[in-house]
Each structure stands twice: as C-alpha cells, then as structure tokens.
C-alpha cells in the first residue's frame, strides 16, 4: 500500500512532546514541525477487525477506479467479501507476529479507508513504512492528514519505533502534502520503484524521526 491521499481541513493539532537528550548526545538544532490542521469530521484509527470485511469490500468496490492509478493491480477476488475476509485474516496474522500494524480509518465512526505501518523492523533499525488511502468521498477534508498524525502516535509511542518512512509517486502531490504536514522530510527519489497502472513509476521517499530522537538513544525513553 503506497501513500495515497488528499488532505486539508481546519483546526490545530497538539505539538509533539520533546524528550531531553541523553547525556553526551550531540546538540540538535531545533526543527519546527508545523501542526497538522484538524478536520471538521471525527477521525480515528484503529487496528482492523474481522467484522470490517464487509465495509472494506464496499469501499474497495466503490473506489476501484479512483485508486487504480496509485494501487498495485488486484485480482477480482480482492473485491469480494471472501477476498477481504482472507486479506483481513492475513493482516491480523502479520500483526500478531509483530510485522505490521494494520489499521482502518474511521470517519464519524464508519470505515473510510486503510492505514498501515508495514515492514516493522526491530534491532538496530527500529523502523517501518506507512501506507494509506482514504475513500474519494472523504478526499480533501483533512482526513488523511489526521489519520497519519494519529498513526505516528502508534509508531512512536505504542510501538516505540525510531523512524517512519513513506513512498509516494512523484506526481502524487496531495499525499506529499499530507506527509509534509506531519513533519516528514523528503530524502530522495527512487527510480522506477513501483509498477502500477501498467508501467513503472518513480517515487519520492520521505522520512519522519521520532520526537525523542537524540542521535544516540535506541529505544523510546517512555
């Protein structure tokens, strides 16, 4: 799942808490991270559940053409209730193994998209990738921006990861704005990185370090 979204919406997010640097850590220049704007609707993220399969089936069918330019090609089975049940089952297996955090985006209590922390790596890396999409009906309302803000809390506080990365197609400016509003910085461009919509596409790589990063500490001090 690549980062696919549109952002926007009024409101103000709370700032990140800054942890003190570890003794002997090099001084870091202050980096201002603009607070994402909050949407008018109620946005929540949570781990996907087996009973989400029906809602996800409807969303995938309704947004099939909308997501086609950004998502990998899917077989017909993916767009059936049985296919979504199998997909959710596989996601929860990977979650149980600590390999990913598979979530859904809720708008006013109803499933409106997907958001996932993929490829969770421990040891000396302590990192993951974030991918997301929001249904067309909620595009441009700040939903994706708020969902990413909340899943960063999961990554840095609950999972205690040090780094979150994201890829977006170079022409997916809406998704890039979502990441930038959440403090991501562009690292570079990966050439011919993903094959979607019938061809290979370049993608921009973005990164976001944990707010407690001091250049030395391996794990969150929380």
Residue pLDDT, tens place only, 119-161: 999 999 999 999 999 999 999 999 999 999 999 999 999 999 9
Mean pLDDT, the chain, integer? 87
Model pTM score: 0.82
pLDDT at 195: 92
Kindly tell me if the per-residue pLDDT of 219 is higher than 90: no
pLDDT digits (tens, 9 = 90+) for 50-66: 999 999 999 999 999 99
pLDDT of residue 186: 97
Q: For residue range 63-112, what is the model confidence (pLDDT) as tens digits?
A: 999 999 888 889 999 999 999 999 999 999 999 999 999 999 999 999 99
Quickly state the pLDDT bin for 39 (edges 50, 70, 90): low
- pLDDT at residue 166 greater than cutoff 60: yes
Q: Residue 137: what pLDDT?
A: 95
Q: What percent of the chain has pLDDT over 70?
A: 82
d(CA 87, CA 30): 42
**Residue 168 region, left (φ>0) first, then alpha (ψ -120 to 50), else beta?**
beta
**Rounded to an integer, what distance in angstroms lies between the CA atom of residue 49 and that of residue 54?**
11
* Distances in whole angstroms, Cα of residue 89 to Cα of each of 4, 93, 111, 154: 23, 6, 17, 21
d(CA 9, CA 40): 7
Q: Are strands 127-134 and 163-169 parallel, antiparallel or unpaired?
A: parallel
The per-residue pLDDT for 40 is 76
Poorest-pLDDT segment among 21-30, 38-47, 72-81, 181-190 = 21-30
């Amino acid at each position: 799942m690549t980062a696919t979204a549109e952002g926007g919406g009024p409101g103000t997010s709370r700032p990140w808490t800054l942890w003190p640097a570890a003794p002997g850590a090099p001084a870091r220049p202050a980096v201002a991270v603009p607070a994402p704007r909050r949407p008018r609707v109620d946005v929540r993220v949570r781990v996907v559940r087996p009973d989400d399969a029906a809602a996800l089936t409807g969303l995938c069918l309704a947004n099939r053409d909308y997501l086609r330019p950004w998502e990998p090609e899917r077989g017909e089975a993916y767009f059936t209730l049985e296919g979504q049940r199998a997909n959710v089952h596989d996601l929860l297996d990977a979650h149980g193994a600590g390999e990913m955090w598979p979530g859904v985006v809720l708008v006013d209590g109803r499933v409106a998209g997907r958001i996932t922390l993929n490829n969770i790596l421990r040891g000396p890396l302590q990192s993951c990738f974030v991918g997301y999409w929001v249904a067309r009906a909620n595009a441009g309302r700040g939903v994706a921006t708020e969902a990413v803000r909340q899943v960063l809390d999961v990554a840095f506080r609950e999972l205690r990861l040090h780094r979150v990365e994201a890829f977006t197609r170079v022409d997916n400016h809406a998704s890039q704005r979502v990441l930038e509003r959440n403090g991501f910085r562009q690292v570079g461009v990966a050439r011919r990185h993903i094959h979607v919509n019938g061809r290979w596409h370049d993608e921009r790589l973005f990164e976001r370090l944990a707010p407690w990063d001091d250049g030395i500490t391996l794990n969150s001090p929380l």
